[in-house]
Amino acid sequence: MVEENKRVLVISRDSSRYSSWLELLQVAGWQICRVNTRDEALEHIPQFLPVLMFIDVEAGEHIDNIEEHFAQRCRDSGLAVIPILTNPTVKDVADSYRRGAVDVLIEPFDSDEMLDVITRVGSFKDLYRENMDYRAQLEHANQDLKDSLNTLKMDQQAGREVQLNILPREPLIHAGYEIEHKIVPSLYLSGDFVGYSVLFDRFIIFWFADVSGHGASSAFVTVMLSFLMRQISRRHIYEDDVEPLLHAPQGLLEHINRQILAMNIDKHLTMFAGSIDTQRDVLRYVTGAQLPMPIMVAETGAEFLTGKGKPIGLYEDANWAVEEIALPKNFSLVIASDGLLDYLEGDSIAAKEQVFLEACEHAEMTHNGICAALKIGSISDAPDDVSVLTIVRNPGRG
């Protein structure tokens, strides 16, 4: 230790004990301040500015009796504290270190032992200064990290608001058909995307997409999908072009596939899209690697829709076949993202799909009834986005 820092505070009320310690310290060149109690020591620390403190722990006194606020004050001041113990137990020594002591002295001890302890304290002080510098750097880095996380959180929240604004705000009810959705994002932003609307007061078009991954990059693709779908719909309306809707969604996935590949964003997606002709009560749909397949529930029971197709955004020359079915008078169509499978019982995909099928078959034929049967409301901390879209037909509505 440098000379100007050789100040030691000694807490002891027993002159028969501390007189020999003071003599040793004086010979070693230390400036000494002795007090009787720990309260007095706290008063002297700001004025005397010691770097070393000896605490005389009297026989029968326990280290635990040293107040925590006193121990904390010593640590905050950077003091190297050395208790002097008489006939200590192993617990007394262990508690000394636990409370922040840098070393201990056990009576009886000689001058060499005291000087050895003081020498070790010098190493402690150098290490302490290094640690304080490191702590300041760490606190600064931690604050920068907190600021960055707060900025990221605000950005995520803003992105979430944008994403919510491009999703349907309320159920669509038209000609006895009712469409509604529920999305449980794994993060602020979701890679799942749904949409539905009515064109020419006749065709209900809907789409259900699951972008690979989740978070901001996947959410960006959903915004692009929303733009594409609205652009297509506006074109049909602007051109008063009803004829293509009789064949919809023919060519839709091919168009989206070209757009995704052209963006070169290393993203792909699964998608299920359909069009319901409410005059003919016919559903035409196309699937791009949708998992699980949608479930049709009618009076005859529940079954998965047929059809298959490749994911979108991976293959340049991919084509998707359109399926067509006549719709029964009363039915519910349930479309779910693969994130739902994580919450269903079963040791395999097939077993989970069977649970999905049975839950839909026994559910009340409403959006809320289906979500309740699938326990969507109890999902939290989802590792993947979980989404459900339902289409229910009830001739009494519309």
d(CA 4, CA 7): 8
Taking residue 264's Cβ as centre, other Cβ atoms within 10 Å add up to 7
Instruction: Please state, in angstroms and rounded to a whole number, the distance separating the CA atoms of residues 128 and 120.
Output: 12
Strand partners, 387: 183
Q: Which two structure tokens, joined as six digits, stand for 96?
A: 């000394």
Mean residue pLDDT across the chain: 86
How many C-alpha atoms does 169 have within 13 Å on its Cβ side? 4
Instruction: Give 176's pLDDT tier (boundaries 50, 70, 90).
Output: very high
Q: Is the pLDDT of residue 85 over 80?
A: yes
- Percent of the chain at pLDDT > 70 equals 90
Summarize pLDDT for 112-165 with one digit per residue, the tens. Answer: 888 888 877 765 555 556 555 666 788 888 888 888 878 777 767 766 777 778
Report the percentage of the chain scoring pLDDT > 90. 43
Pairing of strands 31-35, 52-56: unpaired
CATH code of the domain made up of 3-135: 3.40.50.2300
Residues 38-49 pLDDT 10s: 889 888 888 888
Give the chain's end-to-end CA distance (angstroms, integer). 89
pLDDT at 1 over 50: no
**Among 302, 282, 79, 355, which Cα is nearest to 71's?**
79
Task: Tell me the C-alpha distance between 238 and 218, whole Å.
Answer: 30
Q: Residue 345 has which token pair?
A: 């019982």
Paired tokens of 76: 């905050």
How many Cα atoms occupy the beta-carbon half-sphere of 398 within 13 Å?
15
This prediction's pTM: 0.65
CATH code, 168-393: 3.60.40.10
Residues of the chain with CATH 3.60.40.10: 168-393
Q: Give the strand order in the sheet containing 203-211.
A: 192-199, 203-211, 269-277, 282-288, 323-326
**Residue 349, CA distances (Å) to 94, 131, 149, 273 in order:** 56, 53, 37, 23
Q: Which of 384, 301, 386, 372 is nearest to 336 (CA)?
A: 386
Cite the residue boundaries of each domain of the chain with CATH code 3.40.50.2300.
Answer: 3-135
